[in-house]
Every structure is written in structure tokens, then in C-alpha cells.
Amino acid sequence: MKSKLTKQIPMSSDALQQRVMGLREELNKHNYLYYTLDAPIIPDAEYDRLFQELVKLETDHPNLKTIDSPTQRAGGQPLKIFPEVNHRIPMLSLDNAFTFETVQEFDKRVHDRLKTSALILYACEPKLDGLAVTLIYEEGIFVAGATRGDGVTGEQITENLRTIPVIPLKLTDKNPPHLLEVRGEVFMPKAGFKTLNERAIANNEKTFANPRNAAAGSLRQLDSKITASRPLSFFAYAIARIDGKKDVFSTHHESMEYLKHEGFPICPLNHIANGVKGCLEYYQKLVEKRHSLPYEIDGVVYKVDNLDLQKQLGFVSRAPRWAIAHKFPAEEALTELLDVEFQVGRTGALTPVARLKPVFVGGATVSNATLHNMDEILRKDVRIHDTVVVRRAGDVIPEVASVVLEKRPTHAKKIVLPKKCPVCGAEVLREEGEAAARCMGGLGCRAQQKESIIHFASRRAMNIDGLGIKLVDQLVETGFIQNIADLFQIEAESLASLQRMGVKSAENIVNAIENSKKTTFPKFLYSLGIREVGEATALALANHFHDLKSVMQANEETLQTVPDVGPVVAAHIYAFFRQPHNREVIDKLLKAGIHWPTPKPVPSVESHPFSGKTFVLTGTLSELSREEAKEKLIQFGAKVSESVSKKTDYVVVGDAPGSKLAKAENLGVAILDEKQFLKLLNNN
């Protein structure tokens, strides 16, 4: 019988070698495009196909395997210990500055030592909150890597470092230096950290307190396959040594350009500043950007850019005289948990709140922090009188992040969920599958009354100016009002009789209540405080039903035809409108004169120009918050992504955009300013 035409002809060993080398080059290129530039040009399935072809060739021909092959990133045999290594060039630590004055003193010392009054150029870099490592390349191939350790001796973690996708296993230079030693920081991006912890919670495993600990825990795994499964990344920030290369650089930033060219990821926020003034401006900019970055930073680093000047300045003990770390205020601090109280929210949910020994953290004194819910308390094993880590990051509510178990005193007390509501004494129940325990007192509970009124009056709901927490508290405690409809019966005279309330302010509030009567349908729906109905859902309901009666009459099945409304939300909406008390309150509100224009019909999601498109938002928008923009996009059937890639359809650019704008320009992604975005959003 004739052989089939499709039968493969065996490759010559030369051709085999060529194919293997070609595949590696191709895979390295796509790896770099995907992980370092976040701009893939081939589908994942095509990458996998090329990868599997290489795996097969290397398995069939083990003599063709090399340590710089992309197949070596998956992790190898577990180790017994990490061997110790002496760093040929010590890994420096940096002096710290916590104030602008200390940075100015540093700049003065630099000038004094160099005996110059000329402006110094400084390389400014974010100070990444990860682990310092060193990477050694011989003849262009990654051969060894180690942790910083004490700066003189570290641990060899070569196999673990090999698994980090952005660390090049081979330099791109066809004529590489004989030896290159690169220093940088391994870190875990915030998004990866979040997913890792969510997975740990789902599997009943221990979580990491912060991305830094997660990165450290992941790098110190004796089984490199575990490291390979962790979302680690890396930025290079120094060349410790380069041998056998002509035309070496005269500035730090040139050395970074070289590393970038060789395939290393370099932080896109690095910047050259003119003198100390430029450094402090950079600091200020990063303070503002800090929380919107995809990775954690704990300060900035200033380095004299000129390498000759660096040499002249030299070192003092283990720190260079040519660099300093300007630290941000710490976002974590230790303190004692004095007690736990349970606060009752708008929907009756009981939130455990930690009363703390006051501690200065994230730029403010904190004496209360959330413990989220009972599951979190049990998972973190928090007890009263424990020493706890308090975290206050940006404008996020301070939280108890973890416990220092080693410091637990013998009189530490377990935290118990109260059986009765601490405000109204009604039963506390926890429904199946819910994290929160709830007071069953409903709107008979004063806490729930107050919270529902505060929500109703809030800026994004009915926007009643001057009706804040303190006043609502007083109004409910004195029995003036019990529900949102009562607000519209308040008279200025009786209001003025309240404590700390003048005639003028009473009039202002009554006027504000009067003015709030003119509203919009989505705002009214949102202000009712139906569980799980945020602004986006309220808007979707308004767009779908057009009038209140239809929303109130809709059954759960109909409600689920509204975009983003699933069975749980539908059940909450349905139940809300079945409660006689709620119907009564709504009736009173309408009778009091609350009104809105009939909503303009909006086009269906499918026909909206944003439907099915992928958006990235960068910078600050003036008309709406990023969260609002995101909600609206989702409502119109668009996807919102954190990073720009070839798959991005639009990048919306606000004030002070980040590196995403540059990336969008590089990739030729369509860019919209806020005005253009709003115009398209409103479909006109």
C-alpha cells in the first residue's frame, strides 16, 4: 500500500535545531508582548500551539533542551533548601527620608560633596513595595538569581525567578555582555493579589495580609511550580555589573534604556527631574497617583543620574550617598483592639466595628476600623485585646487587616455575634449563604430608620443639602420623624426648636427638602434604598419600565429581563414593593409632591454604540466619577478593563492620565476625551 501523502518527513537534526530555536525566539517575543507590554498580537490558542510544539520537540529530543527555553518557566523539581549565595557586589539598602526637609538636606549634602552649585539631575522612580532580587546573565543567558538577604548573603532562588513571565531568560542582544547583573524588585500586582486571596478564601486557606507578603511567600516556595502559579511581576532598577560590553552608559537612565532594550520591564513612571524641586514635584504627583496604580508603592527613590557623580559620591556603610528613598506615610500600623461594637446599617446588616487604641496611620489618627463581618473575624481569628494590623489606604475605610498572633495576651476574648439587635432588641438572623447577619426589626429599628433617611437625603439620591448624619440622628431620637415621608411634613418653626438649630438653618433645610421634590425617576428609585439597587440598577430599571407603577407591579420574572438584574436583585425589588409599609411611604412621598419628568426612551443596549466594546479609563473625569462611568458603560453592554491592549476599543482620558494614554497611542487605540465620551455615552 502506498504511504499517505500527509505522512510527516522526519526533520534533519539541523532543521530540528533550527525549528526549536525559531520556536523559542517566537515564544519569547510573544511572551514579551503579552506580559511586559500587555499588547499581545496573537490569540492565546496560537501561543499555546507553538508552546506545545516546543514541549514535544524537547521531550522527543532531550539533547535540545536548554535552560533559557520558555518551557523552563513552568517550575521544576522541589528543592530541600535554598542554597546561600554571597553577592559579588553587595545589595545596597537606601537611606530613608520622611519629610521634604530631609530630602532637601540630602540634595545639599550631594552638592557639598561634589563641591558644585550646579543643578543636579535626579532619576526619580516609584519605590516598589516588593522584594529586591539580583539576576545574573552569562553570555546573555539567565543563569542565577537570588534574594537580597542581608545585602551580603542572600538565598539562591533561580528556579523560582525563572517562572516569572516578565523576567527574560535570554537577552535580546545578539552580542551580549559576558556578564550582566541586574537588580530589581519582584512584586505582586494588586489585581493578582486580590484574585489569589479570593481563591484562598474559597478554598478555606490562609490569606496574605498584603501584596508584599504574598510576593515574599510566593518567592520563598521550595516548589517552583507553586511560584509559577502565582501572579508575580518584576521591574528592573539598577545594573550592578556589566562586563565585556563596549560603550557603557554615562547615566543611570541610559542604563535603564539599555535594560529595556534587552527585554527587561522598566517602570513606566520613571522620570528625570531637575534638581530637588523637580524631585518633590514628582513625589507629590505620585502621592496622588499612588492608589490608582496597579501595584503597591511605598515611596519614591531619587538617584543622582550621572554615573560619574555617583562614583564620586560613593557609599557610607551599606547605603549609597547618591540615592535616597522618600517614603509615603505608612498605611499599616500595629495597635490594640480594645472592643468590638456592632453597627446596624440601612438594610439591618450588622457590621462589627473595632474600637482601637488610637494610632497614627495613613496620615491620620484612627480609633475605629471595620472588621467587615463574622466570617472575616473567624478567618482572621481576631480577638479583643489582640494586637492587630490596621490598614488605612487612601480614602478606603480603615480595616483590621490581620492579627499578630505572637502577641496574643492570655486574657484575649473571642468576639460573639449578638443574638439581639444592639439598637432595637429585635432578633438577629443570618440567612443561608449570606455573609452579613441582620436585625429583623426592619423599619421599626431606629438604626435602620436613620440609615434609610441618611441614604434618601444623600447627594447622589435626593440631594437634600444640610440634612446630615447628626441632624437625622437628632430628628429620629427626638421622635420628630420615623421615615423618609415624614421629612416632608417638617416645618421650619418646629425644626428651629431643636438643639443647635437656628431659625435660618431650619429655613434652609426646609427649603432644601422642598427643592428635592423635583427629581429624576432613577434618582427616586435609588433613594428608596432597596437592597442591591445601586445607581446603575436604578437607572436600568427606570430605562426599562419608564414609570413607577410598572416597576412596583413587575413580577420577579419580568424584573430579570432588565440588564444586570439577576434572581437575587429581582427578589429584593419584588419583596420591597410587596411590603405594605413601603407602599404607604411611597404613596405619602408622591402626595407630598415628589415628581420627575417622564424619562426619555433610551435605545436598547444592543443598538448603543458602546455595546460589546472594551474600554479603559485613565485620569480624573470632571462630570462623573470613574465608578459612575464604569457603571454606565457596563449598563450599555460595554466591558471595562484595567489595562490597555490591542483588544481595547477606546481609552477614555481624563485629567492627569497615567501611562495608559501613552500605551494607547503606541497601539493606535482610539482615544476619547471626556466631552467626546459623554457625547457618545448619551448617544447624541
Options 97, 182, 228, 301; binder of ligand 9MJ; rule CB under 6 A: 301
Q: Which residues contact 678 (CB under 8 A, 6 or more apart)?
A: 623
- Using CB under 6 A as the binding criterion, the count of chain residues that bind ligand 9MJ stands at 10
Stretch that binds ligand 9MJ, among 40-48, 109-117, 125-133, 455-463 (CB under 6 A): 125-133
Helix (H, G, I), strand (E, B) or coil at 199: helix
Indicate whether 92 belongs to the interface with ligand 9MJ (CB under 6 A): yes
Q: How far is the CB of 92 from ligand 9MJ (least distance, A)?
A: 5
Q: Which residues contact 176 (CB under 8 A, 6 or more apart)?
A: 137, 139, 140, 245, 262
Spatial strand order of the sheet with 639-641 comes to 639-641, 614-618, 650-653, 670-673
Q: How far is the CB of 216 from ligand 9MJ (least distance, A)?
A: 14
Q: How far is the CB of 99 from ligand 9MJ (least distance, A)?
A: 20
Stretch that binds ligand 9MJ, among 123-131, 174-182, 225-233, 341-349 (CB under 6 A): 123-131
Closer residue to ligand 9MJ in complex, CB, 96/553: 96
Closer residue to ligand 9MJ in complex, CB, 58/125: 125
Q: Among all chains, which residue has been given the C-alpha cell 426592619?
A: 442
Closer residue to ligand 9MJ in complex, CB, 262/298: 298
Closer residue to ligand 9MJ in complex, CB, 254/628: 254
Tell how strand 383-384 and strand 332-344 pair up. Answer: unpaired
Stretch that binds ligand 9MJ, among 95-103, 120-128, 447-455, 573-581 (CB under 6 A): 120-128
Closer residue to ligand 9MJ in complex, CB, 125/262: 125
Distance CA 224, CA 161 (A): 9
Chain positions 248 to 277 lying near ligand 9MJ, rule: CB under 6 A, are none
Options 214, 238, 256, 485; binder of ligand 9MJ; rule CB under 6 A: 238
Closer residue to ligand 9MJ in complex, CB, 315/360: 315
Indicate whether 629 belongs to the interface with ligand 9MJ (CB under 6 A): no
Cβ atoms within 10 Å, residue 60: 9
The residues with which 438 forms a beta bridge, in sequence order, are 349, 429
Q: Which residues contact 440 (CB under 8 A, 6 or more apart)?
A: 348, 421, 426, 427, 428, 429
Q: For residue 392, which of 291, 471, 486, 462 has the smallest C-alpha distance?
A: 291
Which residues have a catalytic role annotated?
127
Q: Which three cell numbers stand for residue 621?
A: 473625569
Indicate whether 127 belongs to the interface with ligand 9MJ (CB under 6 A): yes
Round the CA-based radius of gyration of the chain to a whole number and report it: 30
The residues with which 323 forms a beta bridge, in sequence order, are 303
Q: How far is the CB of 350 from ligand 9MJ (least distance, A)?
A: 42
Q: For residue 136, which of 73, 88, 82, 76 has the smallest C-alpha distance?
A: 88
Helix (H, G, I), strand (E, B) or coil at 150: coil
DSSP state letter for 251: B
Q: Which residues contact 517 (CB under 8 A, 6 or more apart)?
A: 488, 592, 593, 594, 595
Distance CA 236, CA 167 (A): 9
Site string for ligand 9MJ, 166-185 (x = CB under 6 A): -------------------x
Q: Which three cell numbers stand for residue 457?
A: 437625603
153 contacts 87 by C-beta, under 8 angstroms: yes
Closer residue to ligand 9MJ in complex, CB, 224/270: 270
Site string for ligand 9MJ, 498-527 (x = CB under 6 A): ------------------------------
Q: How far is the CB of 325 from ligand 9MJ (least distance, A)?
A: 7
Cβ atoms within 10 Å, residue 330: 15
Indicate whether 188 belongs to the interface with ligand 9MJ (CB under 6 A): no
Closer residue to ligand 9MJ in complex, CB, 215/382: 215
Residues found in the chain:
684
Closer residue to ligand 9MJ in complex, CB, 92/475: 92
Stretch that binds ligand 9MJ, among 13-21, 124-132, 336-344, 518-526 (CB under 6 A): 124-132
Q: How far is the CB of 127 from ligand 9MJ (least distance, A)?
A: 4
Q: How far is the CB of 426 from ligand 9MJ (least distance, A)?
A: 53
Q: How far is the CB of 523 from ligand 9MJ (least distance, A)?
A: 45
Closer residue to ligand 9MJ in complex, CB, 185/262: 185
Distance CA 541, CA 525 (A): 8
Options 23, 97, 128, 313; binder of ligand 9MJ; rule CB under 6 A: 128
Q: For residue 653, which of 633, 680, 667, 674 has the smallest C-alpha distance?
A: 674
Closer residue to ligand 9MJ in complex, CB, 271/608: 271
Stretch that binds ligand 9MJ, among 12-20, 35-43, 122-130, 164-172 (CB under 6 A): 122-130
Q: Which three cell numbers stand for residue 608?
A: 448603543
Distance CA 369, CA 351 (A): 11
Terminal Cα-to-Cα distance of the chain (whole angstroms) = 70
Distance CA 270, CA 575 (A): 54
Q: Is 77 left (phi over 0), alpha (psi -120 to 50) or beta?
A: beta
Site string for ligand 9MJ, 315-354 (x = CB under 6 A): --------x-------------------------------
Q: How far is the CB of 476 from ligand 9MJ (least distance, A)?
A: 51
160 contacts 219 by C-beta, under 8 angstroms: yes
Options 31, 85, 110, 125; binder of ligand 9MJ; rule CB under 6 A: 125
Q: How far is the CB of 420 from ligand 9MJ (least distance, A)?
A: 51
Distance CA 584, CA 441 (A): 18
Indicate whether 237 belongs to the interface with ligand 9MJ (CB under 6 A): yes
- Fill in the amino acid letter for 436: A
Q: Which three cell numbers stand for residue 209?
A: 495580609
Q: How far is the CB of 86 from ligand 9MJ (least distance, A)?
A: 18
Stretch that binds ligand 9MJ, among 121-129, 280-288, 615-623, 671-679 (CB under 6 A): 121-129
Cα separation values, 102 from 240, 315, 317, 558, Å: 27, 18, 19, 64
- Please give the residue ranges that form the binding site for ligand 9MJ (CB under 6 A): 92, 94, 125, 127-128, 185, 237-238, 301, 323
